[in-house]
Structure 1
């Protein structure tokens, strides 16, 4: 239910920023590129010409041994870590900013240590440059995402006792990851090239690149690196304590320590273990979870407080639903993503499925309809309300932006695109005409025109290869998804990429449309939970992948990395990441299967994500008409989309009760507290903020993630037996780490 976060302020909606925020954005980010502009930036063109450098050095070569060596190495690191994080009790993402910083540090080191004479000059052609760094980041970033296809494979192994052969599994991952790339690549003229398609989330990293590679430097880069080393190694050492030796620090709750026999305290104040409780007023000292899904040092204060309000409302709703026993909530665990019988025992889905893994009405009548935990129903309601409200919000506040984003669909534009399309890709040299100065052309895009393009035909080949492979796979793996259902999923993904891709490009807001896609798939393929999983894989994951591809291509455009180098980096990183995701998924399931199937899990491993994916597939894919249709038990989950459309404009326009100054703000969460410090530094010490904020944020993420990577294999059982720290007060191995009462499941 939490509000969706923007990674940076939406400068396209300038009226939403206070004067202080505008001034801070101007001072800090502009000064980071040594600009002398002092006025507030007015539009996207001002931002992309003053916040980040438009200059290009065509002599910089990204096709180096260093770029490929570090790109492949960090892709391995990111791909493995992303899959480890998939099985964590809280959503944690691999920091792309950290990948950028560590690539810079290692690249500088390689340029220094490798000789430049003789044959070594091919390994070390000169100083490490910005384009090499961008190449590495794009490759590693493409790998550092847990492929949604592994979720399908994990559910099949955990809940259907099916293990598809390795070849089919790998090609399932390839096709599902590249389908969105093909669609997104063909939409570059709409979602990438225009200045209005700003991609705010990448501005901090590109601005950091400009600072790091600024040739006119007074020793500032050495100070930045010193700050990075200090922050990195401090968190690297610190994370040993909350992650292994002193796990109480992951959720320190005074209430649990005072009332460790009270199960209501566990539900309300517990939070160190997965699905334990709401963690109200619990203090976390583990940076992995403080900055899990977003770094609080790089997110606007207003966005964080909008999120905080969402959390507060969520807590109120959870408590109200559970303690009023709505939907028989007290029969089930307080927090859970799995399905239950009415008596509270876990629902055995295989008992209602026939040998084709479709719902059998006779078997269903014998077992009865499953139940959700009440809090999970609230989560679904909130998600769907937010989805509906998004459309209303866009029509009220972004109508002109949406109209601009769909300008490509005019008959003249479509005719021009058709005339310019060349399917003979092998004859395409990629050269493009550089037009005269034009105020409507993005200056960064204009600089990129000197480089051969990765032509549309390349993306057509990727798209058709993904479609053909997918059609083979859905029948080879007995997915029960018919060919026409796959086509519907692809069409739904294409429309969603246009709509939500333009929103993400302009504002930085990334909406989760998975529940909506699940609902569509459930109603067009009733009684087929397996088909629903595959429908969501191709209908939703393609949207996410297209957004990631376009984001990375925007990084390439801002850093002047040639398009063909960016294409190569993305393909290599994505394919390598798929293989690593698959290997790690199987290894973790082999070694942690009982924990992944349990409702609560531990503070190290959790099956919450495959649990929710499976329960949604059964409920929506198998029983949509029985559970969510009009008059059924959870009908309001589906009606929430309609209700969301009617959310009043005043609520959508500005989150209520959000003060303008930090002095008025109560502190409820660690990330908000940390961002208050960053906000203060940004407005009061903009030069210091511009120099060190993102470097320090990347260092904290990096030190944490490297130690998590090491501990996962060394002591936490990612590749074999786990080695828990000996029992003591700070490592309560016999129960919840925060000493809250254990609740029998």
Structure 2
């Protein structure tokens, strides 16, 4: 068998060049995997990341700590455990013999620890439902039905992943480009290399970055919050609404605004150090066009009465510019009171918020057309190769045949139990969840239908079209005026597919690193369940501990607990669920013309493709990626201008300057720096909360407030009166 593997290694190449150059073609099946230290470090990483990420979830700058932090941090701990834990064999001579220390800390243990960390690093989207019901609608919700929603939305994706793993994991053509970053990092951390002369090892550099990030965050996090959004343009004319609209990093265009706060830089778009320059450039162009061309044009031309509302806001408004009181249109059955809505008036959004939905429509159609035009032929060839009877395994597939597969019935059992639990919850807690049984089955059908085609797109192009708008649209028309039903349908139809793709990507990572499939399955299931419990427990604790959590009406101006992500999710539940798409974007609504963005999104990649055909030698034309460009501002709101300007600058310095002019440094330290800053910022933030913010310690001085552009949120239409704003 060993000789066969050597021959395979010499004679076989992977069908994808990037994989062939990056992934090792060897394996050691005797390497221990499910070890004591793997369980300790894996579960610890999962719990810590789940707690910290949920802790950041409600904050004004919701930093997401990725698994890279744990991936790097556990290396010295793993080696320390291998040197210090007893090597004694327990129950020796029996079938149950085991040891707590089977030898040196190895890469396969490290991969499984990272899988646990992935489970803790990926947020539980269903937490938005809990926040919307309890904190915004202020309705009663008990822990148990909330737990059912949280668990089922996360675990349901295992079913779809099990059904399609044969087509999306085993074929070499399905290569999941995002995994190559982690494969490279694993190799860097485990393949022995000497310390460069005058330099540091990766572990030493990580510790330095961690300490610096930890020590520095006390300034933007508590002592000097102005560093989060340094909007100096506002100071030029402190009484001018126009100047503050231009300069505010939080509520305006953010011209000249910079953030010297890692949590603000990495909070919505992820670490800029992990973004390739190609993607960063597309985001930068898209942001510039939307923020500095279309937004000013729409606002100052007064499209949709834009001047009645703030330039940039995720609030919902009445026609006179005052914030819409949603409680006045919700009846006792938690549905839309049609009579009250007719009396109270139509729902309005800031022009930027309405445009955000328009670009969401455009991104969806652009993604489909772009993939068809630029990748259609390759996808067809790869699909025929993957799904046909002549499908061949590459070297990695043949090496993985040494391990037992996960039986399909394991996945089907999880799928059946989950659907049964969802149907039970929707039936027993019908007044709270609102989603009927046919809605559950329809959501599952949508997820089942889209997992394979979107999985093929993701596995070959690293682009993942979202289903959130489509699911909201469908249930909004079929079952209107029920906000919780809309939220649950979106989560079961959209997030279960996203979770399936996450599980499949992890399976492919295990495939590359030669992890036994059953060990990978156990780590995924246990990690997912543990992370859900930690996420919900942390959210429940914060809801009960922090007064007026998410309620900006009662929170102090500089509060970190404004919940921008939950606020947007709640607004979406009002728009698509409570009021319904027909009264917003349909024939009964004020924004029906926004549907033209679907058409525009479909045309945009066609134009790029035709230009590429005209000038085939201009390689830069193919790098114009319209789905990324049109979807650049998809996180706005809740993300603000300063999040983007700072992210783009750091991404340029990392992905272009360092990568081009200092490639060795970039290759050795770039991802390590990102992980160190993530981890250091996170731990200092938790320490600040426990030691300073929870006891109520506050600093009142000039630098104790961020942005300092109070007039940026003022309307500018004549006769509109808002507290704290001038009347024109």
Within-5 A mapping of 1:680-719: 680-717=657-694
Equivalent residue for 2:239, pick from 245, 261, 264: 261
Aligned pairs for 1:723-734 (under 5 A) are 723-724=697-698, 726-732=699-705
CA distance change for structure 1 residues 655 and 391 in 2, over 3 Å: closer, same or farther? farther
What does residue 470 of structure 2 align with? 516
* CA distance in structure 2 between the aligned counterparts of 1:183 and 1:404, rounded to whole angstroms: 23
Distance in 1 (alpha carbons) for counterparts of 2:357 and 2:48: 34
Query: Relative to structure 2, which stretch is displaced further, 694-703 or 131-140?
Result: 694-703
Report the secondary structure of 2:54's partner residue. Answer: helix
Question: 8 Å contact 2:458–2:464 — kept in the other structure?
Answer: yes
Which residue matches 2:167?
190
Partner of residue 616, structure 1: 572
1:287-298 matched pairs, under 5 angstroms: 287-292=262-267, 293-298=269-274
Q: Check 1:99–1:647 CA distance in 2 against 1; reply closer, same or farther (3 A cut).
A: same
Counterparts of 1:240 and 1:113, CA distance in 2: 35
Partner SS state of residue 730, structure 1:
helix
Task: Tell me the equivalent position of 2:27.
Answer: 56
Residue in 1 aligned with 2:78? 107
Q: Deviations 1:636-667 (Å, cap 9, x if unpaired)?
A: 333422332222523466988989xxxxxxx9
Whole-Å separation in 2 of the counterparts to 1:183 and 1:327: 42
1:167-224 CA deviation, whole Å, 9 max, x = no partner? 111111111111122112211112222222222222122111112212x543569722
The answer to whether the 8 Å contact 1:143/1:574 transfers is yes
* Aligned partners of 1:530 and 1:617 also within 8 Å: yes
Quote the Cα distance in structure 1 between the aligned partners of 2:172 and 2:622: 34
Going from structure 1 to structure 2, the CA distance change for 1:578 and 1:695 (only over 3 Å counts) comes to same
Superposed, 1:203-352 pairs within 5 Å as 203-214=180-191, 216-219=192-195, 223-271=201-249, 275-292=250-267, 293-315=269-291, 316-352=293-329
Moved more, 377-386 or 250-259: 250-259
Q: 1:262 to 1:323 in 2, by over 3 A?
A: same
Is residue 418 of structure 2 the alignment partner of residue 466 of structure 1?
yes
2:62–2:263 CA contact under 8 A, matched in 1: no
Contact 1:182 1:462 in 2 (8 A): yes
Q: Which residue of 2 aligns with 1:448?
A: 400
TM-score by length of 1: 0.83
Q: 1:376 offset after TM fit, Å?
A: 0.4
User: Whole-Å Cα distance in 2 between the matches of residues 499 and 657 of structure 1?
Assistant: 23
> Matches of 2:547 and 2:395 in 1, distance apart?
53
Does 2:125 align with 1:152?
A: no
**Cα distance between partner residues in 1 of 2:657 and 2:513:** 30
Between the aligned partners of 1:491 and 1:238, the Cα distance in structure 2 is 49
Q: Deviations over 1:257-307 (max 9, x none)?
A: 333333333332222xxx533322211111222233332222221211110
Q: Considering only aligned residues, what root-mean-square deviation do their CA atoms show, in Å?
A: 3.0
Partner of 1:417: none
Asked whether the 8 Å contact 2:309–2:350 carries over to 1, the reply is yes
Q: Map 1:54-133 to 2 at 5 A.
A: 54-90=25-61, 92-117=63-88, 122-133=99-110
1:143 matches 2:120: yes
Counterpart position of 1:375: 352
1:169 counterpart = 2:146: yes
The verdict on how the C-alpha distance between 1:712 and 1:206 changes in structure 2, with shifts beyond 3 A counting, is farther
Match of residue 606 from structure 1: 562
Q: Would you say the 8 A contact 1:138–1:552 is kept in 2?
A: yes
Residues 329, 58 of structure 1: alpha-carbon distance in 2 compared, 3 angstrom cutoff: same
2:495 is aligned with 1:495: no
1:330 CA displacement: 2.6
Give the Cα–Cα distance (whole angstroms) in 1 for the partners of residues 341 and 232 of structure 2: 46
Please give the secondary structure, in 2, of the residue aligned with 1:500. helix
Structure 2 alignment gaps of length 5 or more: 1-9, 92-97, 613-618, 625-641, 714-722
1:707 positional shift: 2.2
- Unaligned runs of at least 5 residues, structure 1: 1-36, 414-437, 660-666
Q: 1:728 to 1:362 in 2, by over 3 A?
A: closer
Query: C-alpha separation between the residues in 1 aligned to 2:382 and 2:62?
Result: 31
**How many Å apart are 1:728 and its aligned residue?**
2.4
> Which range moves more in the overlay, 84-93 or 177-186?
84-93
Q: Give the deviation of 1:738 after TM superposition.
A: 4.1
Matched, 1:570 2:524: yes
SS in 2 for 1:597: coil
1:620 Cα shift?
Answer: 1.7
2: CA distance, partners of 1:299 / 1:144: 18
- The secondary structure found in structure 1 opposite 2:171 is coil
Q: TM-score if structure 2 supplies the norm length?
A: 0.85
What is the SS of the residue equivalent to 1:715? helix
Conserved 8 A contact 2:108-2:513: yes
Aligned equivalents of 2:584, 2:153: Cα separation in 1: 29
Instruction: Report the Cα offset of residue 90 of structure 1.
Output: 4.3
CA distance in 2, matches of 1:711, 1:445: 48
Q: Is the deviation greater in 116-125 or in 293-302? A: 116-125
CA distance in 2, matches of 1:144, 1:379: 27
